[in-house]
Structure 1
Amino acid sequence: MKNSRLKNLGPGILVAAAFIGPGTITACTLAGVSFGYSLLWALLFSVLATMSLQEMAARLGLVTGKGLADAVKEGVSNSGLRTFALVLIISAILVGNAAYEAGNIGGATLGLASIFGNSYVLFFPWVIGIAAFLLLWFGNYKLLERVFVGLIFLMSIAFVVTAILTKPDFSELLNGLFVPNISSESLLTIIALVGTTIVPYNLFLHASLVNEKWNGVSHLKSARWDTLISIAIGGVVSMAIIISASAIDTTDVNGADDLAKGLEPLFGAWANYFMGIGLFAAGLTSSITAPLAAAYVAKSCFGWDKGLKDWRFRMVWVSILLIGVLFLTLKIKPIEVIKFAQVANGILLPLIAFILLWMVNKTSVMASNKNSMIQNTFGILILLLTLFLGAKSIAKVFGLF
């Protein structure tokens, strides 16, 4: 039974790979260095919330046979509100993913530099970009699935082994996992941990990908297990990064690329290889999923009927991938674009969480597969959290927080 479930891993693994990108590694690193194990509870809650929302998105996708943007178009009757929602979705996902793609490629580049040195660092972004391009252009869903399972395996081994070697204190670890600890100093880090785990574009990606692997409601159980197991694996990897960073004595660690340096006293030269593999896998997976998600959103919003090989679909992800490589190669800092993306995502996440919650409660859409009372209770709690996070994210961009 367990083997069959592991063989069924697919869309969920792509979602897990998408949220464990350089941004997540950086947020987890800073959380571990600054607060030790005390913010593990925030990550645990984020993982459970992600499981809940992604399960709803996957269920909606299988029941309707359509993407999440299609559900927005059909579910919002007011034309003005529908247009606003679609414009916001396109802005946040397409523009936002293009802005953040440089960071994804940059993370994979740092991983290669840790393994092979800095002699060819100028060429690494193009190596990553070409690898992502070839996988997306010539690959199909099954190939992408296998590649992502392999990369997640590499990532898991790299970070989990690193965490085990730090010999964590299990009593403190359990306390950090199950006893919430919030202070004014840790609030921004908590927001970062939640914000890099619950990702709006993953909801669109998941609702579309389940229809690439399965067909119809008869596969709901498989899709649910795929979601739970995959997101759990992603959560373990993220927690392993916090545990690894907690072992660093110095606080002079500002991001993911500094984590290997901080762990050198513990592991010597091996730290570079473990971190290099993890960073490369995390950066490459996000470099592929971000353009892919943007293309699925465009496909759903504009009503393109064809699949992965459609030229319009391809032009969307090619454009985002190319923008990411150029931003990184030319050392362009798209600060204003990223700020816009943060504001758009701050509005989009609670909006999409609300629409998703609303749609999976409509009997006309979901029939007998609509939400249970327990799912709705947790869903409302997540919605309130996303509203809080969205407000804080927007306030931060405008310097109000």
Structure 2
Amino acid sequence: MVQTEQHKTSWKLIGPGIVVAATGVGAGDMVATLVAGEKFGYALLWATIIGCIVKISLAEATGRWHLATERTIFDGWRSLGIWTFVFFAPYIVLWGFVYGATAMSATALPMHAMFPQVPFLAWAVLAGVSGLVFVWFNQYAVFEKVITVLVGVMFVTVVGLAVYVGPNIGDAVLGLVPTIPQDSLFNTLGLIGGVGGTITMAAYGFWVNAKGWKNSTWMRMMRFDNRIAYITTGVFVVAMLIVGAELLSATQTELGEGDQALVNLSDVLRERFGGFVATMFLVGFAAAAYTSVLGVWHGVSLMFADFVGNIRGKANRPVEERETSWEFRAYLLWLTFPPMLLLLLGQPVTLIIVYGVLGSAFMPFLAFTLMWLLNSKRTPQQWRNGIVSNVGLTIAGALFLVLCANDIYTRVTGSGG
């Protein structure tokens, strides 16, 4: 299994990292960054940088496991004991049910704001069904190209807006010095942990394999791909922080909470800069939300197919086979149609609490199991964790554990964290 000659890095081959970063950065991350800029100006700029570094270490570890061992993450988890599957089975089922509604709603918001004559529910259903049809009939290569185009739209509109509103360079430089303003602890931790941090982090290894990178000769290229992707994400997130700091904090404008805050921002932009700028922002918002639909519909369905395949004794099937398997398509349907009930009926409080607890527990689960796998004999000696990787994963795991505890506490008690 040991290969020594490495494939050269090439800008033309970049792809899986862009997919995982774009999928992870959705409307919720945009709102969190915007609110951080609104409340604290540039003071938490350093936290966005740390957040990207944390995600680089997590995605690199996931990709390294897949390439070094030529096994999937589920195959690794199974080797740690049945408890990993006992945790993951209810998580992926419940997560898909609630997230499907969340992703469809987030995509519908900007579309309804631009085209109010079409009902909000119709836009939400269209987002889900179009994602289903696209992923059902297209394999990874086409999927990656479409995601890359949407990332380009996100990047140009949001970064362009940040340049347009005009960043305060002096304050931005000061914001690179780590400080925690009063009452900002969990905003800070959330900003570090939330930027692109979801179950899709674990999907990176599957997308790496789908790209055709199947063994350790692709390690250098995978690392290059990963770093470029999260540097791009960092620029995008910093741009959102600049918008929050310059447009909202400076004018003491409050947008409220939830994805609706991004629609409210478009109203602020319309008043200050006119309809064109406001519409361009909504286009960027829609692109960011829809990348999460397509990315989850494809990536998490791949994960589910491999999860069920492991249970059925069909581990490590080729990606092409998983993309057309009944497990893959069953999860696609699960993401699309049952969540429409939540769009119609609202989201039951108990279900949301359980979903939130499982969701906040996944990232520390991922970080610590990767440490376990990559420091053990399951990984070839030359690809095991070094000091830098272990420090990065330890910081990530500890950070997500704190966020998990706070999230569970706030959800169960209903109090602020």
Query: Normalized against structure 2, the TM-score is what?
Result: 0.88
What residue in structure 2 maps to residue 241 of structure 1? 240
Counterpart AA for 1:166:
V
SS at match of 1:365: coil
Alpha carbons of structure 1 residues 17 and 279: separation in structure 2 relative to 1, 3 Å: same
Partner Cα separation in structure 2 for residue 278 and residue 182 of structure 1: 30
Partner Cα separation in structure 1 for residue 102 and residue 157 of structure 2: 20
Structure 1, residues 173-222: CA drift from partner, whole Å, max 9, x if none? 1211x212224522232233234225241232012111111121111111
Q: How does 1:56-205 map to 2 (within 5 A)?
A: 56-74=61-79, 76=80, 82-176=81-175, 178-197=176-195, 199-205=197-203
Partner Cα separation in structure 1 for residue 349 and residue 278 of structure 2: 29
Aligned partners of 1:20 and 1:282 also within 8 Å? yes
What residue in structure 1 maps to residue 325 of structure 2? 310
Question: What percentage of aligned pairs have identical amino acids?
Answer: 25
Partner Cα separation in structure 2 for residue 91 and residue 256 of structure 1: 32
Partner Cα separation in structure 2 for residue 158 and residue 198 of structure 1: 19
Do structure 1's residue 371 and structure 2's residue 385 form an aligned pair?
Answer: yes
Partner Cα separation in structure 1 for residue 358 and residue 411 of structure 2: 11
Counterpart AA for 2:158:
F
Partner Cα separation in structure 1 for residue 388 and residue 221 of structure 2: 20
Structure 1, residues 265-319: CA drift from partner, whole Å, max 9, x if none? 3321123212211111111111122233332332232225441010121111221
1:136 CA displacement = 0.5
1:242 CA displacement = 1.5
Structure 1, residues 70-112: CA drift from partner, whole Å, max 9, x if none? 21102x1xxxxx3332122233333123212222222221222
1:345 CA displacement = 2.4
Partner Cα separation in structure 1 for residue 182 and residue 296 of structure 2: 32
What residue in structure 1 maps to residue 367 of structure 2? 353
What RMSD in Å do the two structures reach over aligned CA positions?
2.0
Aligned partners of 2:200 and 2:300 also within 8 Å? no
Unaligned runs of 5+ in 2: 1-7
Q: How does 1:264-303 map to 2 (within 5 A)?
A: 264-302=270-308, 303=310
What residue in structure 1 maps to residue 255 of structure 2? 253
Alpha carbons of structure 1 residues 368 and 339: separation in structure 2 relative to 1, 3 Å: same
What residue in structure 2 maps to residue 26 of structure 1? 31
Alpha carbons of structure 1 residues 136 and 334: separation in structure 2 relative to 1, 3 Å: farther
SS at match of 1:168: coil
1:256 CA displacement = 2.1
Counterpart AA for 1:296:
L
Counterpart AA for 1:11:
P
Alpha carbons of structure 1 residues 298 and 191: separation in structure 2 relative to 1, 3 Å: same
Partner Cα separation in structure 1 for residue 84 and residue 112 of structure 2: 41
Unaligned runs of 5+ in 1: 77-81
Aligned partners of 1:159 and 1:278 also within 8 Å? yes
1:234 CA displacement = 1.5
Structure 1, residues 246-267: CA drift from partner, whole Å, max 9, x if none? 2122432022222212223332
Query: Normalized against structure 1, the TM-score is what?
Result: 0.91
What residue in structure 1 maps to residue 10 of structure 2? 5
